[in-house]
Amino acid sequence: MSKISLSRYLVEQQREKGHIPADLRLLLEVVARACKSISHAVNKGALGGVLGSADSENVQGEVQKKLDIIANEVLLEANEWGGHLAAMASEEMDSIYLVPNRYPQGEYLLLFDPLDGSSNIDVNVSIGTIFSVLKKPEGNQGVTEQDFLQAGKQQVAAGYCVYGPQTTLVLTVGDGVVMFTLDREQGSFVLTHENVQIPADTQEFAINMSNMRHWDEPVSRYIGECLQGKEGPRGKDFNMRWIASMVADVHRILTRGGVFMYPWDKREPHKAGKLRLMYEANPMSWLVEQAGGAATNGKTRILDLQPSQLHERVSVMLGSKNEVERVTGYHAKV
């Protein structure tokens, strides 16, 4: 059988399954095109002069890398003129970006973390782009930040592109999870995994163990029990992985199962967590749920959380269903 490109998959989602309107299909094509060009920039590395810091900070007070800024610009430029979008929001921009008046306005809102895992850029470890698409609320003239503040369950498309040994685009439009691998000779994304499923059980967890002394009791208990292995209450040995790129950690979980946690901790107790709800946790949570997994903040399903700010942070526990339910259950007992 001939290879199925991203374009063909999206056309089928529109025409045969009636899952997505034409505008959303075209918008996703543009996002994929932007990811291709970010992938090229990432690949060039030092040869393209794209490594290192940019001497600037984003709204979260984090030092921006050159590639954070390049990726943000690529996504803005690719998406502003197509006529499918009303506005965009990014980890790297304080406020929302309205589509300029000279271009037609569309019905969708696009949110992204242009380059997730920035600490891995200079050391040649996998990084990625995360994106989430929402529908602009009806009846509004113009767009405000308020229009973006929709719960994750309202997303109409979500995905990420991981720039690793291969460049892989992972997508959901609410019809399961599919993976496309970039064929560099052809310049197109080719469908390589369909109906992605996360096994309900796992023996692998991902958490930054250096923060252990700052965790709260339910997280300490869960990880403590995993560490006791065969001799402990879980009766089995666990393995650990921590890439420090959420995209790469989630990609592993979608590929072979596991649980990923970036929980609230006592370092900065006023912060709900490190990761951002709207353009990191929401799209990843929807992908994970679409693949049969679960995602909570320890208490509540992430996709049910009502955001109150664009750059809101959240505690994240996601992956294999039985493990996420277990650690969420430990929070309920506190």
Residues near ligand AHM (CB under 6 A):
62, 91, 113, 116-119, 208, 244-246, 262, 274
Name the residue nearer to ligand AHM (CB basis): 80 or 116. Answer: 116
Q: For residue 91, what are its two tokens?
A: 């980890």
CB of 208 to Mg ion, least distance (A): 14
CB of 91 to ligand AHM, least distance (A): 6
Note whether 92 binds Mg ion by CB under 5 A.
no
Write down the least CB distance from residue 165 to ligand AHM, Å: 18
Question: How far is CA 267 from its chain centroid?
Answer: 24
Quick check: 289 binds Mg ion (CB under 5 A)? no
List the 188-193 sheet strands across, edge first: 97-98, 85-90, 108-116, 127-135, 157-163, 167-172, 178-183, 188-193
- The burial class, CB within 10 Å (0-12 / 13-18 / 19+), for 160 is buried
Backbone angles phi, psi at 324, to 5 degrees: -65, -40
- Nearest residue to 56 (alpha-carbon basis) of 45, 67, 42: 67
128 binds, among ligand AHM, Mg ion, none (CB under 5 to 8 A by kind): none
Cβ 285 to ligand AHM shortest distance, Å: 14
Residue recorded with tokens 């499923």: 197
Measured from the CB of residue 319, what is the shortest distance to Mg ion in angstroms? Answer: 18
Tell me if 157 sits within 8 A of 177, measured CB to CB. no
55 CA to centre of own chain: 26
113 touching Mg ion, by CB under 5 A: yes
245: partner contacted, choices Mg ion, ligand AHM, none (Cβ within 5-8 A by kind) = ligand AHM
What minimum distance in Å lies between the beta carbon of 166 and Mg ion? Answer: 20
CB of 302 closer than 8 Å to CB of 293? no
Is there binding between residue 116 and Mg ion (CB under 5 A)?
yes
Q: Among positive and negative, which fits the CA dihedral 186, 243, 179, 70?
A: negative
Whole-angstrom distance, CA of residue 225 vs CA of residue 208: 16
**Four-residue CA torsion sign, 281, 285, 288, 293:** positive
Q: C-alpha 284: how far from its chain's center?
A: 4
Nearer to Mg ion, 254 or 277 (CB): 277
Q: Which is nearer to Mg ion, 20 or 248 (CB)?
A: 248
Residue closer to ligand AHM by CB (options 114, 218) is 114
| Minimum distance of ligand AHM from residue 207's CB (angstroms) | 9
Instruction: From the list ligand AHM, Mg ion, none, pick the one residue 207 interacts with, judged by a Cβ distance below 5 to 8 Å according to partner type.
Output: none
**DSSP structure string for 305-329:** ---SSTT-EE-EEEESHHHHHHHHH
Q: Give the residue at shortest CB distance from ligand AHM.
A: 246
* Type of residue numbered 228: Q
Size of the site for Mg ion (CB under 5 A): 2
Answer yes or no whether residue 265 interacts with Mg ion by CB under 5 A.
no
Q: Which is nearer to Mg ion, 116 or 289 (CB)?
A: 116
Contacts with Mg ion, residue ranges (CB under 5 A) = 113, 116
